[in-house]
């Protein structure tokens, strides 16, 4: 956090009066392009029939507008901007500036980068005004261009004159989906179905073959291994030796066949 410095009230002591002027956005953008050398324009103040007339004329070099890529646009910024003077309206408005000082306090010199912010009161607002462009041809062209730019869609449809062969090739399945399915299969995260539904799938499978290993039954029923083994222990027998070692078969009371000779 920056440590606040003292407030400089020199502007208030000198009774400095300042003008608060509202300018168009495009005008401030052109001012930002100035090199810092020379004038950005000229302010003209005249009195005509007891009435004060104020106008600002932009520097000719800053009136050129450049679009994306640095190319000059087909329109120029209006140069002449009359002021619409307004009263302060009984308000007390002041202008402050803030600047950073590289000085560090002696007691905090060991700390790194403590910057003291300096506030200064530049003066009291004695006049408000609004800077408006003269309604000439340059201004009308500028507004037309601004409307056209703002109405352009962010995305546009382009017609390709040749087939794209390097990028955006269609694929049967995206790698993300393949990795997800593989991970899901490896983790064994399968939703448990109703027990009777699983029994129906098992009996249907054993009508075709007498012996199954657990892997084939998992593929058929799409059930978690632990859940499937719980059901198999109720209706089946696990062979731990013999010709059909490490396979499951139905208990005698659930078989639809008679004897070993009718097995597949």
**What are the tens digits of pLDDT across the range 196-244?**
999 999 999 999 999 999 999 988 998 888 889 999 999 999 999 989 9
pLDDT at 146 over 50: yes
Question: Do residues 125 and 15 lie in contact, with contact meaning Cβ atoms separated by under 8 Å?
Answer: no
Average of pLDDT values for 150-154? 80
Question: Do residues 206 and 216 lie in contact, with contact meaning Cβ atoms separated by under 8 Å?
Answer: no
Closest listed residue to residue 26, CA positions, set 95, 72, 83, 79? 79
pLDDT reported for residue 190: 66
Average pLDDT, the chain: 78
Q: What is the CA radius of gyration of the chain?
A: 42
Closest listed residue to residue 84, CA positions, set 20, 31, 161? 20
pLDDT at 68 over 70: no
Banded pLDDT at 106 (limits 50, 70, 90) = very low
What are the φ and ψ backbone dihedral angles of 36, each rounded to 5 degrees?
Answer: 95, -10
Alpha helices in 152-209 (DSSP H): 175-187, 195-206
DSSP state of 32: H
Banded pLDDT at 93 (limits 50, 70, 90) = confident
pTM of the predicted model as reported, rounded to 2 decimal places = 0.42
Average of pLDDT values for 44-50? 86
State the burial class of residue 109 (Cβ atoms within 10 Å of its Cβ: 0-12, 13-18, 19+): exposed
CA dist., res. 137 & res. 163, Å (int): 46
Question: Comparing 4 with 191, which gets the higher pLDDT?
Answer: 191
pLDDT reported for residue 263: 45
Strand, coil or helix: 191: coil
CATH architecture of 190-254: Orthogonal Bundle (1.10)
pLDDT reported for residue 186: 62
First to last CA, the chain: 82
CA dist., res. 217 & res. 190, Å (int): 13
CA dist., res. 53 & res. 85, Å (int): 8
pLDDT reported for residue 24: 85
- The β-bridge partners of 97 are 120
- Nearest 5°: the CA angle 167, 168, 173 is 125
pLDDT reported for residue 205: 92
Domain ranges in the chain are 7-100+117-150, 190-254
How does pLDDT run across 158-178, given as a tens digit for each residue? Answer: 888 887 676 656 677 778 788
Strand, coil or helix: 83: strand
Query: Which residue's entry shows tokens 């396979």?
Result: 247
pLDDT at 95 over 60: yes
């Amino acid at each position: 956090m920056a440590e606040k410095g003292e407030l400089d009230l020199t502007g208030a002591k000198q009774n400095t009066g300042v003008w608060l002027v509202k300018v168009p956005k495009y005008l401030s953008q052109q001012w930002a392009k100035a090199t810092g050398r020379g004038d950005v324009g000229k302010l003209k103040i005249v009195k005509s029939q007891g009435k004060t007339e104020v106008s600002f004329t932009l520097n000719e070099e800053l009136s050129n507008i450049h679009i994306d890529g640095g190319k000059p646009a087909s329109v120029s910024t209006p140069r002449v901007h009359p002021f619409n003077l307004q009263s302060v309206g009984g308000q007390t408005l002041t202008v402050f500036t803030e600047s950073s000082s590289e000085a560090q306090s002696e007691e905090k010199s060991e700390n790194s980068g403590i910057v003291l912010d300096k506030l200064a009161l530049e003066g009291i607002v004695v006049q408000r005004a609004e800077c408006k462009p003269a309604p000439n041809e340059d201004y009308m062209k500028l507004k037309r261009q601004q409307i056209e730019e703002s109405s352009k869609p962010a995305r546009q449809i382009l017609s390709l004159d040749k087939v794209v062969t390097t990028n955006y090739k269609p694929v049967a399945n995206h790698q993300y989906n393949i990795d997800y399915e593989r991970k899901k299969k490896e983790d064994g995260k399968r939703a448990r179905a109703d027990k009777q539904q699983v029994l129906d799938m098992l009996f249907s499978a054993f009508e075709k073959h007498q012996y199954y290993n657990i892997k084939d039954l998992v593929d058929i029923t799409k059930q978690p291994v632990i859940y499937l083994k719980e059901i198999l222990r109720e209706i089946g027998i696990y062979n731990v030796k013999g010709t059909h070692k490490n396979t499951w078969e139905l208990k005698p009371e659930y078989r639809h066949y008679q004897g070993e000779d009718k097995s597949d």
